[in-house]
Structure 1
Amino acid sequence: MSQPVEFESLPFGSRFKIGLVRLSSPKSLNALSMDMIALIKLQLELWREDPYVAAIWIEGDGKKGFCAGGNVVDVYRSLADNQDGGAFSYRYFHTEYQLDYLISTYPKPVVCWGHGYVMGGGMGLLMAADYRIVTPSSRLSMPEIKIGLYPDVGASHFLNLLPEHYARFLALTAYQVNATDACELGLATHYVADDVRHLVLEKLANCHLEQLDLERAKLLIANVLHGFSMSDDLPLLKPELQSHEKTIEKLMGGTIENIYQSMRSFVPESDCLKNARENFLTGSPLSAHLILQQLEWGKGQPLQAVFDRETLLSVNCSMSGDFQEGVRALLVDKDKTPHWRYRNVLDVPHTMVASFFQPTRSFSQLSKHGQTLQ
């Protein structure tokens, strides 16, 4: 039976190695299971201490995408079937965010090959890397509003690096960003052709690195990727998101109630904006409130604080919010007709929203014993 994650050591700089992480569950679009997260975290910790590993490369198996997100169905089943009091939910989200934080603060350069679908938990891995590669097939999105969650995996930090109207729009509409827009917005660092992965790795193998000089290693990686980014053979994609900037800025102004009224009356002309409007209006109204509050809070917050609060919010969403119903409707029964707790954004009480940012007794107990859950 094949492993859900594969690890290799590839040559780099003639004397050193690149530690390669390959997500190997293409049937699920490499959705991150608890086992996958734990395996990657352990291997990265080992490679961090290895004096011959000069860089990390993270990729996904299969042509369709790098990673479609976290395997939230496992979280759903732990709550629906096992009634474990949220123990698995806490363990899953807490460990996933630990992995994202580890990559974000990793002392050695990390390259992420983000082809095809890069969604949710996949965005967490991509955005934590130093070098975030996209290709013509890439589609980046945070679709959590569709399952009663909110953009997590550090999105409270990295979405806030964008202009506010873009941050709100991507978080509220599950919009899929193409490679050109991703680079222009800073979500990606390099845009290369889909079929040059092996050539990039060959170039890195043939670089010259005398000693384990991480700054020199970063420079070598940057130079190689720059060469492929400037290729005349690279098909250019037109920016889609930015071509609608004025419309998006107008739609995303004010409170969540203002945004709801604007989106209701909005008549989009393009298919991408039609889909965005539909995703927002059919997504969880409770999640819409949580998304805006979390984004506002996240401005200027240190990364560790972001992950701590996301752990609290994600567990509360899975235990008491729309998460279980959203996952059921979209990923389990697949009837795509979730019965949200509230009919629309205007019906959601602000006191209910505030309660999701407060630790419950069960969450306090889970976090207190978090070390034993890892």
Structure 2
Amino acid sequence: MDTENRIKYEREIDFEVINRVAVVTLNRPRALNALSHEMVRRVTDVLELCRHEENIAGIVFRGAGDKAFCVGGDVRALYESVCSDRTLNEAWLQFFIDEYRLDYAIHHFEKPIVALMDGIVMGGGMGLAQGAALRIVTERTRLAMPETRIGMVPDVGATYFMRVMPLEIELYAGLTGASLTGPDAVAYGFADFCVPSTDLRNVGQYLESVDWSASLSAKNLLRDALVRTTTDPTEAPLKAHSAKIRSHFGMASSAQSIVAGLHNGEQTVWSTATHEALAKCSPCMLEVTYRALRMGRDMSLADCFRMELGIVHRTISEGDFLEGVRALIVDKDHRPRWRPASFAKLDSARVTHFLTSPWKQDQHPLAELGV
């Protein structure tokens, strides 16, 4: 790696050890800490260092700036990488392979990892945080898995970790990409504590106060150091809509039936907004997402990652991803030309195709996960 790229690479991830705690800061505040491939590799390196360093007792993940923990992968960079891949060697796929391996490692890491999810947390940011042993949100937190809006499926383990929610809430959040607040996150299992954002300004000072001679576990010591005060998790805005969500998403047999039910049912502000959100998404990927989320409820974490990688591979190489990113992020005309454009023209065989792995079992890039 040349000097210029090495410096950029190191600056995008800040790493320091404070009183036996490794503090990893995602450091792209102007990009809302979106993950580049080099950042994924760097965090993976840091994890391996911490795994073998006896003097490190735990890890804290946080985002630089005051707007976001992490908005996910760098979608524009990925789009440009795919578009420039004239050799068709699918070099872009390695980003997802490395990201999923990192996320899987976080779920199974031997030492406690703490995710400070202040501000926006989307996509890849959720992948980093949901495997952590301690997940802390604030009143400023907004969590979402909005991949369907760009012709993708919720990934980074979402088909596994979203099942902590009731099925109807999982489908609602996964299909619409709806944003959850900090209290929502605690109420529905995406976070362990909601604290005032001001409490996270002195993380280093709090970590310095940890007494490692105490008899508590490392996780509990970190919890006691970082969780000073909490907010009331009963004030979860999403709960006000739980009955409506259950009636539309709880009993539906497909994404198409959900959209039809919203269109034909009683028109309220909520139902209209929800229908409009779904109407902007790729019909094919809504149906794929519906099935993937339901399938994931009965699968292991490793199998969920393998399923997601297959879907992502097909979605980027032959699906709606490039068109979704073009319409929403690159050209910003907000007029994606989905294939097909409507549920009426969607063949069930196409949905099944996206859910079918492109690789034989022993040749899957993530075959080693869970072995």
Number of matched pairs:
357
Q: Secondary structure at the match of 1:255?
A: coil
- What does residue 246 of structure 2 align with? 249
Measured against aligned partners, the alpha-carbon deviations of 1:297-332 in whole angstroms (never above 9, x if no partner) come to 111311111111111111111111111101111121
Structure 1 unaligned blocks of 5 or more:
12-16
SS at match of 1:300: coil
Q: How do residues 300-339 of structure 1 correspond to structure 2 at under 5 angstroms?
A: 300-339=298-337
Change (3 A) 1:236 1:289: closer
The 3-state SS of whatever aligns with 2:62 is strand
**One-letter amino acid of the structure 1 residue matched with residue 77 of structure 2:** D
Identical pairs, percent: 30
Deviations 1:27-74 (A, max 9, x none): 111111111101111111111100111110001111111111111222
Check the 8 A contact 2:85/2:91 in 1, yes or no: no
Structure-1 separation of matches of 2:74 and 2:273: 24
Per-residue CA deviation, residues 266-299 of structure 1 (Å, 9 max, x unaligned), is 52325xx654432211111111011011112111
**Mapped partners of 2:32, 2:12: distance in 1:** 11
Q: How does 1:222-241 map to 2 (within 5 A)?
A: 222-229=223-230, 238-241=235-238
Match of 2:348 in 1: 350
Q: Any conservation in 1 of the 2:184–2:233 contact (CA below 8 Å)? A: no
Give 1:153-168 correspondences, 5 Å limit: 153-168=156-171
Amino acid aligned to 1:60: G
Task: Rate the CA distance shift 1:93–1:268 in 2: closer, same or farther, 3 A.
Answer: farther
Where 1:111 maps in the other structure, the secondary structure is: strand
Partner of 1:134, secondary structure, is strand
**2:211 equivalent among 204, 208, 212:** 208
Alignment of structure 1 residues 281-292 onto 2, 5 Å: 281-292=279-290
Q: Distance in 1 between matches of 2:365 and 2:257?
A: 39
* Corresponding residue SS for 1:46: helix
**Hey, what's the Cα distance between the residues in 2 that align with 1:330 and 1:365?**
37
2: CA distance, partners of 1:41 / 1:57 = 14
Partner of 2:3: none
Aligned-partner residue type, residue 68 of structure 1: V
How far 1:228 sits from its partner (Å)? 2.3
Partner of residue 268, structure 1: 268
Partner of 2:122: 119
Q: Which residue in 2 is equivalent to 1:4?
A: 12
**1:60·1:66 contact (CA, 8 Å) conserved in 2?**
yes
SS of 2:23's partner is: strand
- Which gives a bigger RCO, structure 1 or 2 (Cα 8 Å, sep 6+)? 1
Cα RMSD (Å): 2.4
CA drift at 1:359? 3.4
8 Å CA contact retained: 1:264, 1:281: no
Find the counterpart in structure 2 of residue 14 from structure 1: none
Report SS of the residue matched to 2:269.
coil
Matches within 5 A, 1:60-139: 60-85=63-88, 87-139=90-142
For residues 368 and 247 of structure 1, do their structure 2 counterparts lie closer, same or farther at Cα, with a shift above 3 Å needed?
Answer: closer
CA contact (8 A) 1:91 1:370 kept: no
SS at match of 2:236: coil
TM-score, normalised to structure 1, is 0.89
- Check whether the contact 2:135–2:191 (CA below 8 A) recurs between aligned residues: yes
Corresponding letter in the other structure for 1:346: A
If the length of structure 2 is used for normalisation, what is the TM-score?
Answer: 0.90
Structure 2 residue runs of 5 or longer lacking an equivalent are 1-6
- In the other structure, the counterpart of 1:218 is 219
Verify the 8 A CA contact 2:69 2:121 in the aligned structure 1.
Answer: yes
Give the AA of the match of 2:294.
E
CA offsets 1:145-173 (integer angstroms, 9 cap, x no match)? 10000110101001112110000000011
**How has the CA–CA distance of structure 1 residues 274 and 95 changed in structure 2, closer, same or farther, with 3 Å as cutoff?**
farther
Q: Say if 2:32 and 2:67, in contact at 8 Å, map to a contact too.
A: yes
Segment of structure 1 superposing worse, 18-27 or 273-282: 273-282
User: In structure 1, what is the Cα distance between the partners aligned to 2:330 and 2:114?
Assistant: 33
Query: Aligned with 1:196: secondary structure?
Result: helix
**3-state DSSP of counterpart to 2:217:** helix
Alpha-carbon distance between aligned partners in 2 of 1:236 and 1:246, rounded to the nearest angstrom: 19
* Misfit runs of 4+, over 4 Å: 234-237, 363-371
The one-letter amino acid of 1:40's match is: V
**In structure 2, distance between residues paired with 1:239 and 1:369:** 37
**Residues 322 and 105 of structure 1: CA distance in aligned 2, closer, same or farther (over 3 Å):** same
User: What code does the residue aligned with 1:74 have?
Assistant: A
User: Whole-Å Cα distance in 2 between the matches of residues 164 and 341 of structure 1?
Assistant: 28
* Aligned partner of residue 314 in structure 1, secondary structure: helix
Alignment CA distance shift 1:86-1:336 (3 Å): farther
Give the corresponding residue for 1:280: 278
